[in-house]
Copies of this chain bind each other. A is one copy, B any other.
Amino acid sequence: VAPLDEFGLIRAWTEGRHTREFLESAGVRLGVGDDAAVVGASSGLEWLLTMDTMVEEVHFLTGTMSEADVGYKALAANVSDIAAMGGIPKFALVSVCVPPEWTAPRMGLLFEGLYACAERYGIAVIGGDTTSAPRHLVVAVTMIGTVEAGKAIRRNGATPGQFVFLTGPTGLSAGGLHGLLERRQSGNDVKAGGGPLPPPRLLQAHRRPVPSVKAGRILLENGWATSLNDVSDGIASEAWEIAEASNVRLALKEAWLPLSGELVSYAGVCGVPPLNWVLYGGEDYVLLGTADRSCEAEMKSRFREEGIPLFIIGEVTAGGPGVDLETDAGKLKPVFKQGYNHFPKG
C-alpha cells in the first residue's frame, strides 16, 4: 500500500465543501490548512465544546453502515451533544485514523456523509488531522457550538415534583442494529438478500440519526428544562446521569414510554422484549430532561406547533440518586445504570 499522502487527501476530502460566504458568515477567519483554525469570539455568547469518537468494530462494522453513514453519524453524535446543552452547533474538527482497507475512495464517501450532516446543520468543518492506522478506522470529531452566556442546560437542576420528558421514541437505533447483526451472524451479507431486514425506519435511526437541535433551542429559549441529556447511551443511562447530578430519583412509568409500532412488531419477530431496546438502547439522539409542572401546558402546546414530539414519561421524586420504572402492573422495578453494549463479546 502506498503511503498515505496526508496533505493531498485532506485537500481532496475538504476543499470546496463550504462557500466563502458561508465561512465568513459563520465567523471562520481561517479554516482547514494551517496549524490551527481561527474563529471569532462573539460577546454575550459562550462556547460549547465536545468530542465524540467512532471506532470500527466498536460502533460499527463494515456492512452495518455505509461509509457515508459513518461520516454522517460521527458528526451527528456531536451535534446531539451540543443540542443537549441547548446550543447551536457551529464548527467541527475531524481526526481520522485510516487503516489500509479504508482506501481513498472509501474515505471520500465517508467525508461525503460527514459534509452532508455539516450542511444540514450549518456547521463549518474547520480543521482536523489524518494519520494512518494499522487496523480499524477511528473518526474523532470535536464540535464547537455557541450558547447564550450562562444559559447552557446542564444535568443538575432536576428537583422533586418536576416531570420527566422525552422528545421522541427510543430503541429504534438498537432495534435496527440488532437486525443487522443477526443477519451478519447468520451469514447473510447485509447488503445482499437473504433474511428479513429490519424495518427501514429502524435502519434509518441507526444509520442516520437526527439530533434534536431545534428541541434543545426551544427548551433553552424558554428556560423550560431544569436538566437535559441527549439519549446517546439509552434512557436508563441518561436518566441515571440526571438523577446523580441532581441528587434525585426519576420515577418512569412504563405506560407512558413512547413505543414505535414498527419497533414493537419487529421486536416480536425477534423475540426480544421491546422494553430492553427502549430503556437500554442508545444512539436515538432524542432529548431526555426534566421541567417544572408550571411549564407543562405551554411546553406541550409549543412542541405541538413545531411538530416535535413531547412525551411526559415520569416524575422527579426525592430520595437519593436512583431511577425506577413503574410497570403497567403497578410494580416498581429498578432501572439499571447501564448503557447499550453495541457488540457484546458473548
Contact = CB atoms under 8 A, between A and B. Distances in A.
Given A36-B81, A93-B51, A133 B41 contact: no
Contacts of A191: none
Given A81-B35, A85-B34, A95-B140, A131 B58 contact: yes
How many monomers of this protein are in the complex?
Answer: 2
Nearest to A3: B341
A188 interface: no
Interface residues on chain A, size class: 35 or more
B47 A47 contact: yes
Contacts of A154: 30, 34
Given A36-B85, A38-B147, A138-B133, A91 B51 contact: no
A48 B37 contact: yes
A82 interface: yes
Interface string A16-50: 00000000000001100011111111110111111
A145 interface: yes
A142 B155 CA distance: 24
Contact of A142 (B46, B48, B142): B142
Nearest to A134: B57
B84 A35 contact: yes
A97 interface: yes
Given A36-B84, A37-B48, A39-B46, 15 more contacts: A34-B245, A35-B50, A36-B85, A38-B152, A39-B47, A51-B94, A55-B97, A57-B133, A57-B134, A58-B133, A58-B134, A97-B138, A134-B135, A135-B135, A138-B140
Interface of A: 3, 29-30, 34-43, 45-55, 57-59, 81-82, 84-85, 87, 91, 93-95, 97, 126-129, 131-136, 138, 140, 142-145, 147, 149-150, 152, 154-155, 229-230, 245, 341
